[in-house]
Chains A and B, each alone.
Chain A
Amino acid sequence: DTGVSQNPRHKITKRGQNVTFRCDPISEHNRLYWYRQTLGQGPEFLTYFQNEAQLEKSRLLSDRFSAERPKGSFSTLEIQRTEQGDSAMYLCASSLVSGAGEQFFGPGTRLTVL
């Protein structure tokens, strides 16, 4: 399968713990995006990379959140000192740098903070 993959698919953690999610984009895609989706809402943009450079971060991305894409391939999203309000689906998408470039989404990582 050559689609976007995300791991883990589900994560349950206790408040205050750190969690890290991984996203593997479609191999030739040089743009990678992170979104967050809470229940009953549309996805909200968090950040995006072009190759290894992080080009934009949303105000939603507090200091407890950090994202990396060290070699321009896979990306990780870390949340430190998790809070119950961080419970959400974290979606990764990738696209080509051409025109608008359709963003293709992965299956998401569902985070539950107890």
Chain B
Amino acid sequence: AQKVTQAQTEISVVEKEDVTLDCVYETRDTTYYLFWYKQPPSGELVFLIRRNSFDEQNEISGRYSWNFQKSTSSFNFTITASQVVDSAVYFCARQGAQKLVFGQGTRLTINP
């Protein structure tokens, strides 16, 4: 199976610290898409970002940034100056054919 691995099960930091969530994926496809979703305590998955395998430019959106390294099959997510509202479970996913293959998620807790 072409897995997505999020090695960090849980991370806990103090507010305003920077935090990076790791994601490593497997694929035999030459074209694929990678995603990050946020799942707050309410349970609904919230789309954060999609990256095309041909576009290795890093992306920044406010306090969020993503580092895509095709050579190491990694797609890491950094939150700068974390806030309590960032507390959630974060999932990395790869799109294979039409379906999404998710990692097991990283539970991020931001303490005040």
Contact = CB atoms under 8 A, between A and B. Distances in A.
Contacts of A45: 99-101
A44 B102 contact: yes
A103 B52 contact: no
Nearest to A4: B44
B47 A89 contact: no
Interface size range of chain B in the complex: 20 to 34
Interface stretch (B14-22, B60-68, B76-84, B89-97): B89-97
Interface string A100-112: 1011111110100
Interface size range of chain A in the complex: 20 to 34
Interface string B99-112: 11111110000000
Contacts, number: 58
A72 to B, nearest CB: 16
Contact of A42 (B42, B50, B93): B93
Nearest to B51: A100
Interface in A57-114: 58, 89, 91, 93, 99-100, 102-108, 110
**Which residue, of A55, A58, A91, A105, has the highest number of chain B Cβ atoms within 10 A?**
A105
Interface of A: 31, 33, 35, 40-45, 48, 55-56, 58, 89, 91, 93, 99-100, 102-108, 110
Interface of B: 4, 33, 35, 37, 42-47, 50, 52, 91, 93, 95, 97-105
